[in-house]
């Protein structure tokens, strides 16, 4: 089905429950649909749902080559648990080498633009390569995750490199409590970093545990003020708000 035709179905799709959306994505787009996850709790729930109702859906992640050891071990756990192979997209070796030679391994400490550049090389560009392989991008975005995500649609048509694709956030209106309840009731494997105080999980060093009164993404890039250069967008890597460069 042509992507242009999906514009007229947005109202219908936005009214679907999460499982129905996953079934729709698989039945209508097959291997051109994929769950993109960094193995935070929401992505784990979506992966579990898909294993139950649309087991053919691809599961895709970006391996920045700087993920916590716990996340790498957890990805192996997920593969064993569901009998699947996670597709891992990594940074371009030459682009990564050039960045490290020019700016050093810890450039993300130097300035916000350099942190965004590091995210662009390690995360945004591999994600863009992965997106070229799909027409349906299934994400774990939720409106309660941060101020900048409060207006996220459940289903939308977005532009990626001058191409329209469907972006689905099946659990967009779920709360953290809803996610935890599903994990407990369905015995879903989850990233052990949550038991260590993490509420948002990304690269090591760039992600830290949070305190009970803090924003869920406060643990991202703690050396920058939360309102630095653009409010909530300062706590985004660029995948969902557009990239940055040097």
Instruction: Give pLDDT, residue 231.
Output: 42
In CATH terms, the fold of domain 3-197+225-232 is Rossmann fold (3.40.50)
Q: What is the mean pLDDT of residues 1-22?
A: 78
Q: What is the mean pLDDT of residues 181-201?
A: 95
Instruction: Give pLDDT, residue 24.
Output: 97
Query: Does residue 194 register a pLDDT over 60?
Result: yes
Burial of 215 (0-12, 13-18, 19+ CB in 10 A): middle
Instruction: Give pLDDT, residue 229.
Output: 46
Instruction: Give pLDDT, residue 81.
Output: 97
Catalytic residue IDs: 237
DSSP conformation letters of 17-86: -HHHHHHHHHHHHGGGEEEE--S-HHHHHHHHHHHHH-TT-EEEEE--S---HHHHHHHHHHHHHHT---
**Taking the CA atoms of the chain, what radius of gyration do you get in angstroms?**
17
pLDDT band at 7 (very low <50, low <70, confident <90, very high): low
Query: Does residue 1 register a pLDDT over 80?
Result: no
Phi, then psi, of 165 in degrees rounded to 5: -135, 160
Instruction: Give pLDDT, residue 217.
Output: 81
pLDDT tens-digit readout, 65-114: 999 999 999 999 999 999 999 999 999 999 999 999 999 999 999 999 99
Q: Lowest mean pLDDT: which of 87-96, 132-141, 177-186, 204-213?
A: 204-213
Residue in the block written with tokens 């970006």 = 62
Q: What is the mean pLDDT of residues 185-201?
A: 94
CA 82 → CA 45, 191, 218, 245, distances in Å?
12, 15, 32, 37
Q: The whole model's pTM is what?
A: 0.87
Domain ranges of the chain: 3-197+225-232
Counting residues of the chain whose pLDDT is more than 90, the rounded percentage is 73
Helix, strand, coil percent values for the chain (each to nearest 5): 45, 10, 40
Counting residues of the chain whose pLDDT is more than 70, the rounded percentage is 86
Cα gap 9→170, rounded to integer Å: 16
DSSP 123: I
């Amino acid at each position: 089905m042509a992507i242009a035709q999906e514009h007229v179905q947005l109202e219908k799709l936005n009214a679907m429950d999460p499982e129905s959306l996953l079934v729709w994505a698989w039945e209508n787009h097959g291997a051109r649909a994929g769950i993109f996850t960094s193995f935070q709790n929401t992505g784990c729930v979506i992966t579990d749902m898909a294993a139950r109702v649309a087991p053919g859906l691809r599961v895709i992640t970006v391996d920045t080559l700087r993920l916590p050891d716990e996340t790498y071990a957890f990805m192996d756990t997920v593969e064993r648990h569901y009998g699947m192979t996670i597709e891992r997209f990594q940074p371009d070796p030459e682009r990564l080498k050039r960045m490290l030679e020019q700016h050093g391994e810890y450039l993300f400490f130097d300035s916000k633009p350099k942190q965004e550049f590091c995210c662009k090389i390690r995360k945004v560009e591999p994600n863009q390569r992965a997106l070229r392989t799909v027409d349906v991008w299934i994400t774990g975005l939720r409106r309660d995750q941060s101020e900048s995500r409060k207006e996220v649609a459940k289903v939308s048509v977005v532009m990626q490199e001058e191409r329209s694709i469907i972006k689905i956030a099946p659990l967009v209106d779920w709360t953290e409590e809803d996610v935890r309840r599903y994990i407990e009731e369905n015995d879903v494997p989850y990233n052990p970093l949550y038991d260590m105080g993490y509420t948002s999980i990304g690269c090591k060093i760039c992600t830290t545990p949070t305190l009970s009164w803090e924003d869920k993404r406060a643990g991202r890039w703690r050396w920058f003020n939360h309102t630095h250069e653009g409010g909530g967008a300062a706590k985004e890597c660029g995948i969902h708000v557009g990239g940055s460069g040097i």
